[in-house]
Structure 1
Amino acid sequence: MQETPFCLRVGHLPSYSMSDSNTTDFTNPSTFILLGIPGLEGAHVWISIPFCAMYAIAVLGNSTILFIVKRETSLHVPMYYFLCMLSVTDLVLSTSTLPKMLSIFWFHSREIDFSACLTQMYFIHCFSVMESGIFVAMALDRYVAICHPLRHSTILTNPVVAKISLAVVLRSGMLTLPFPFLARRWPYCTTNIIPQSYCEHIAVVKLACADIHISSYYGLFVVFSVIGLDVSFIAVSYTQILWAIFHLPTKEARLKTFGTCGSHLCVILAFYIPALFSFLTHRFGHNVPLHFHVLIANMYILVPPMLNPIIYGVRTKRIRGRLLQLFTHKGT
Structure 2
Amino acid sequence: PLASVTVPRFHLDMPSSNITSITEFVVLGFPGLQPGYNGPVSALMFFVFLAIIAGNSFILILVSKERCLQKPSYLIYCNLAISDIAFATTTLPKMIARYWAEAKTVSFTACFLQMFLVHFLGSVNSVLLMIMALDRYVAICNPLRYHVFIKNSTILALCGLAWLICLFLMALLVYQAVSLPYCSSNVIVQCYCDHIGITRLACENVKEVQLTAFIVAMTILLCPLAFIIFSYISIIISVFKIADSEGRYKTFSTCSPQLFIIGLYYLPRCFVYIANNINLTISTDFRILMIMLYSLFPPMVNPLIYCFRTKEIKDTLVRRWKIRKVGTVAGIPVKFWIRK
For this structure pair, what is the TM-score category when the shorter chain's length is used for normalisation? over 0.9
Identity between Structure 1 and Structure 2 (%): 32
**Is it true that 1:89 corresponds to 2:83 in the alignment?**
yes
Q: Which residue number in structure 1 is paired with residue 247 of structure 2?
A: 253
Q: Deviations over 1:38-74 (max 9, x none)?
A: 1104222222333222221111110111111111101
Answer yes or no: is 1:217 the counterpart of 2:225. no
Which of 140, 149, 154 in structure 2 is aligned with 1:155? 149
**Contact 1:122–1:180 (CA under 8 A) maintained in structure 2:** yes
- AA at the equivalent of 2:247: A
Distance in structure 1 (CA, Å) of the matches to 2:181 and 2:75: 43
Aligned with residue 310 of structure 1, among 295, 304, 313: 304
Q: Distance in 2 between matches of 1:37 and 1:169?
A: 31
Consecutive unaligned residues of structure 2, counting only runs of 5 or more, are 329-340
- Deviations along 1:302-326, one digit per CA (max 9) or x if unpaired, are 1110111110011111112223334
1:325 aligned residue (319, 323, 338): 319
Specify which structure has the bigger relative contact order, considering alpha-carbon pairs within 8 angstroms and separated by 6 or more residues.
1
Separation (CA, whole Å) in 2 of partners of 1:303 and 1:14 = 29
Q: Equivalent residue for 2:161? A: 167
Aligned residue in 2 for 1:12: 6
1:143 counterpart = 2:137: yes
How many Å separate the matches in 1 of 2:18 and 2:26? Answer: 18
Q: CA RMSD in A?
A: 1.9
The answer to whether 1:56 aligns with 2:61 is: no
TM-fit CA distance, 1:22: 4.4
**Structure number, greater radius of gyration:** 2
1: CA distance, partners of 2:81 / 2:16? 47
Equivalent residue for 1:232?
226
> How far apart, CA to CA, are the structure 2 residues paired with 1:102 and 1:298?
13
Q: Is the 8 A contact 1:29 1:114 kept in 2?
A: yes
Q: How much does 1:280 deviate?
A: 2.8
Which residues in structure 2 correspond to 1:122-141 (within 5 Å)?
122-141=116-135
Which residue number corresponds to residue 272 of structure 1? Answer: 266
SS of the aligned residue for 2:202 comes to coil
Q: 1:323 to 1:285 in 2, by over 3 A?
A: farther
What amino acid is the match of 2:14? S
Give CA-to-partner distance per residue, 1:148-175, whole Å, 9 cap, x none: 1111111112332232112211221111
Residue 96 of structure 1 aligns to a residue in which SS?
Answer: helix
Q: Which moved more, 1:222-231 or 1:128-137?
A: 222-231
Residue 22 (structure 2) aligned to one of 4, 20, 29 = 29
2:173 is matched with which residue? Answer: 179
Partner of 2:66: 72
Q: Is 1:244 matched up with 2:244?
A: no
Looking at structure 2, the residues matched to 258 and 330 of structure 1 have their Cα atoms a distance apart, in angstroms, of 34
**TM-score, normalising length: structure 1:** 0.92
- What 5-or-longer segments of structure 1 have no aligned partner? 1-7
Contact 1:118 1:180 in 2 (8 A): yes
Whole-Å Cα distance in 2 between the matches of residues 320 and 282 of structure 1? 43
Aligned length, in residue pairs: 324
